[in-house]
Chain A
Amino acid sequence: MTTDHYDVPTDDLVHRCEHCNRPFAEDELLTLHKGLDHPDRLDDEELAAFDEVYDEETDDLRRYQIIAVGAIVLLYFTLLIIYALI
């Protein structure tokens, strides 16, 4: 494997995973990473933090999915109408 996995800007605040040293730009991403990749090594507090961030993300994801479904419907009917007109 090559060694250029990460490219971390020097002037940014970096959140590093204490278990695998992977750098993250945001604290939330680090929390998610720890819960997903090192679930056995978390204490109760970290588990609670993971659940909270995960639930918040689920809400954002719902909003995205509504937009995505809307886009699919729009795409479908736009093409349907174009085909009907041509």
Chain B
Amino acid sequence: MYCRRLRRWGTLSSWLALLVVAVGPAAAHGASLDSSRETIAIPAWLFLLTGGAAIGASFLLASLVTDRALIDAIHGWRRTVPVPGEHLLRGFLQLVGVVGLSFVLVVGFLGPELGNANAAVLLVWVGWWAGFTATTYLVGSTWPALNPWRTIAELLPSLNRSYPERLGAWPSVAGLLGLVWLEVVSPVADAPGVLATVVAGYTVFTLVGALAYGPETWFETVDPISRVFRYYGRLAPIAREDGQIRLRLPGTALSETRLVDGLDEVGFVIALVWVTTYDGFVATPTWRSLADPLVSAGVPALVLYLLVLLAGFGLFLGVFVLGARYSRRLAGTYLSVAELTRQFAPPLLAIAAGYHLAHYLGYFLTLAPSLATTAATPLTLLETVPVLALPGWFDGVALASVLLGHILAIWAAHATAFDLFPGRLQAIRSQYPYTAVMVVYTMSSLWIVSQPTIAPPYV
């Protein structure tokens, strides 16, 4: 996104050093917080090693919890939350969604042409993609009600053609990868006109799709945005289960089996994890130095970006399936590799959410005042747009959310394994390959986070 902040290496390092202390025996918090004020500069390899070690240690700690009754109690805990006026609330959200969509289209085309002074651009990226998305995994997904396209599509007639079942969720995987590619290579993130055109195009495409196959099929199966929020909502502490709004512990629903049904849906989970990495990777100097010779050799930049997006997705999916293969062998189980990938994919959503929060929480807080100010007078260009200056220690929050996402994923996979395998040691052994993959993944992601952020080159 256009306002990625340069991260300060020293602060990151000292926060990581602090986290190591926290991962070990619970040390006195106050004292260690105070001593971290002086910045410790540590070499990059040690920074990455520490991150990897934090994940390895979390796996070892989780593997000490072998009491099935305790795990079941944690994952089965539910409280019903009575929501008064649910219908009114739903109607209100639907109204907000449709008004928001019209706002983006009108202000995008007619408002100021400067990205960070245009309320439509700020509403889409700051309000919706950063802020709203965070609420779907931190609180609960309200997207089915808010989704303006669904609200409109449900008012329109539908041809109800039968959806080709063999395609499964693959169209939504392609849609997600396509949207991320578009976001990276086009000025959609800071040119209001381009953004409004893309939103208009998406609106037409979605409404035609819903018209052909029915809103239910379209938004449950094909629409990538609905699927993103539905999957993120699985992490959330509040969700609708069996027609009631219920409270549960965050992340505990990831060990349930009913979320992911086939390799297509596994593919979507992997795509969600991969695009957060891709988004960060193409903004590193390393990517520029890799792309330089290829672009000068005549490879079109747009094609190069697409190839890397697809190759990376293939690599992530391949590594995950390979992990399932090893897991199957180590556990000595007759469950198929396909079944293992389905069972162990949902925990990865916690990783994707952790990265999302790391990328966008600071971004959201910094630009929320801009959104509020520009939204008041959306069609006039303001001389100055206020932004919030975040304190230096805020980088630590980003780092903590990356690690927390991984730790939650490790725990959810641990609980899944205990649910799946009768042997306790068997369940622990099945997690070795996934833990190895996560350690490598954390280290490469921390490496991306620690690189200076540049604008993606050639686009």
Contacts and interface: CB of A to CB of B under 8 A. Distances in A.
Contacts of A32: 422-423
Interface string A39-82: 00000000000000000010011001100110110011001101
Nearest to A37: B422
Interface in A1-39: 1-2, 4-8, 14, 23-26, 28-30, 32-33, 36-37
Contacts of A30: 422
Interface stretch (B63-71, B100-108, B151-159, B351-359): B63-71
A37 B262 CA distance: 25
B339 A6 contact: yes
Given A60-B425, A72-B60, A75-B57, A86 B337 contact: no
A69 B56 CA distance: 12
13 contacts: A2-B261, A7-B334, A23-B334, A24-B333, A32-B423, A36-B422, A57-B425, A60-B425, A61-B424, A64-B425, A75-B57, A80-B20, A83-B20
A14 B422 contact: no
Q: Which of A2, A72, A83 has the most CB of B within 10 A?
A: A72
Contacts of A71: 60
Given A57-B424, A82-B46, A83-B17, A65 B333 contact: no
B428 interface: yes
B185 interface: no
B50 A79 contact: yes
SS of B interface (majority): helix
Interface in B416-454: 421-426, 428
A68 B56 contact: no
A81 B334 CA distance: 44
A75 B334 contact: no
A79 B17 CA distance: 10
Nearest to A23: B334
Given A29-B423, A76-B24, A6 B335 contact: yes
A5 B60 contact: no
Interface in B367-425: 421-425
Contacts of A33: 422
Contacts of B56: 75
A65 B332 CA distance: 20
Contacts of A5: 335-336, 339
B46 A25 contact: no
B339 A4 contact: yes
B43 interface: yes
B349 to A, nearest CB: 20
Contacts of B428: 64
A68 B336 contact: no
B249 interface: no
Interface string B20-60: 10011000000000000000001100100110010011001
B334 A79 contact: no
A25 B262 CA distance: 25
Contacts of B342: 2
Contacts of B262: 2
Contacts of B339: 4-6
B42 A36 contact: no
Contact of A69 (B24, B42, B64, B333): B64
B423 to A, nearest CB: 6
A83 B42 contact: yes
Contacts of A76: 20, 23-24, 57
A33 B261 CA distance: 24
Contacts of A86: 42-43, 46
B298 to A, nearest CB: 45
The 7 A-B pairs of least Cβ separation, nearest first, read A7-B336, A32-B422, A33-B422, A23-B334, A76-B24, A68-B60, A8-B334
Nearest to B41: A86
Nearest to B328: A7
Contacts of B426: 29
A53 B330 CA distance: 20
Interface string B315-338: 000000000000000001111111
Q: Which of B53, B342, B423 has the most CB of A within 10 A?
A: B423
Nearest to A8: B334
Nearest to B333: A25
A1 B258 CA distance: 9
A8 B342 CA distance: 18
A4 B328 CA distance: 14
Contact of B334 (A2, A14, A37, A82): A14
A26 to B, nearest CB: 7
B221 to A, nearest CB: 16
Nearest to A68: B60
B61 interface: yes
